[in-house]
Amino acid sequence: MSTPVVRSIADLRATISRLRQQGHKIGLVPTMGALHDGHLALIAAAKARGCKAVATIFVNPKQFGPSEDLATYPRDEAGDLVKLTAAGTDLLFAPMPEEVYPDGFATSVAVSGVSEHLCGATRPHFFGGVATVVTKLLLQALPDMAFFGEKDFQQLQVIRRFARDLDIPVEIVGVPIVREADGLAMSSRNRYLTPEERLIASHLPVVMRDLAEALRDGKSAADRIVAAKDRLLAAGFDKIDYLELCDADRIQPITAAKAPCRIFVAAFVGRTRLIDNWPVL
């Protein structure tokens, strides 16, 4: 039997209410579709925590800039539904844009501090769009837990921050990155890569792993980061938005490794922007 699909907030709330009346906990898994094993790991994590897994698919226009790939972002709801059903997903909420942002919608959620560096600096519209739509999804579903992948680690910290600040009664759960056999983090945008670009992209996790190992001695990161950028460009990357060592809680740059910290990277292969992060301490 296929996972049931609802399109309206009213139907989402009614279905979740019935599940709660049956004594179930709710685990929300927000996605933009084009699902891969990384997304399905979030479903598995929700099930492992004893929740009914409620997935959402919504390509959020508010997190795309005017020159970004909203129109061409991969969409395959029928294929996604097959994957969600096989993973044991209990409900899919797949609203139309006008259901999420009705005529006259005029509210946004902004998170200062943790959102301002890395992707917040290079894509200034992005985290406001994420924070607004995820706030809406959390309030629409009111789950016990919500599950997000650590590949988008800065996004995860932004969500944790506003959920705490706004007293939204949900546990935000981070799920480790799922990687391809060669180490590349799974991403819906990986399908944009040509075979030649995919080979170039495989250098990204290798360079990050080597940099993380080197930085664990606690010495200055600056020269090693420059060398890592040079390795990526020599491997065929076209542009590096950022490659930095940051405090993992506040997402602020630091000059040497101290716990907890991660390396964060965003780099282009051709027209495809890949992001990743790697724990150091």
User: pLDDT tens digits for the chain (281 residues)?
Assistant: 999 999 999 999 999 999 999 999 999 999 999 999 999 999 999 999 999 999 999 999 999 988 888 998 999 999 999 999 999 999 999 999 999 999 999 999 999 999 999 999 989 889 999 999 999 999 999 999 999 999 999 999 999 999 999 999 999 999 999 999 999 999 999 999 999 999 999 999 999 999 999 999 999 999 999 999 999 999 999 999 999 999 999 999 999 999 999 999 999 999 999 999 999 99
| Amino acid 66: pLDDT | 85
Catalytic residue (one of 24, 36, 39, 125): 39
| Amino acid 224: pLDDT | 98
Nearest Cα residue to 274 out of 183, 186, 155? 186
Tokens 């800039």 — which residue? Answer: 65
| Amino acid 164: pLDDT | 98
What's the full length of the chain, in residues? Answer: 281
- Please provide residue 18's backbone torsions phi and psi, each rounded to the nearest 5 degrees: -65, -40
| Amino acid 165: pLDDT | 98
Whole-angstrom distance between the N-terminal and C-terminal Cα of the chain?
45
Domains observed in the chain: 5-175 (3.40.50.620), 188-274 (3.30.1300.10)
* 203 is a catalytic site residue: no
d(CA 31, CA 58): 7
| Amino acid 40: pLDDT | 98
Please count the other Cβ atoms lying within 10 Å of the Cβ belonging to residue 254: 15
Grouping H, G, I as helix, E, B as strand and the rest as coil, residue 45 is: helix
| Amino acid 65: pLDDT | 87
Handedness of CA 124, 129, 132, 138 (dihedral sign): negative
Nearest Cα residue to 60 out of 27, 100, 114, 92? 100
Please count the other Cβ atoms lying within 10 Å of the Cβ belonging to residue 95: 20
Residue type, 235: A
| Amino acid 188: pLDDT | 92
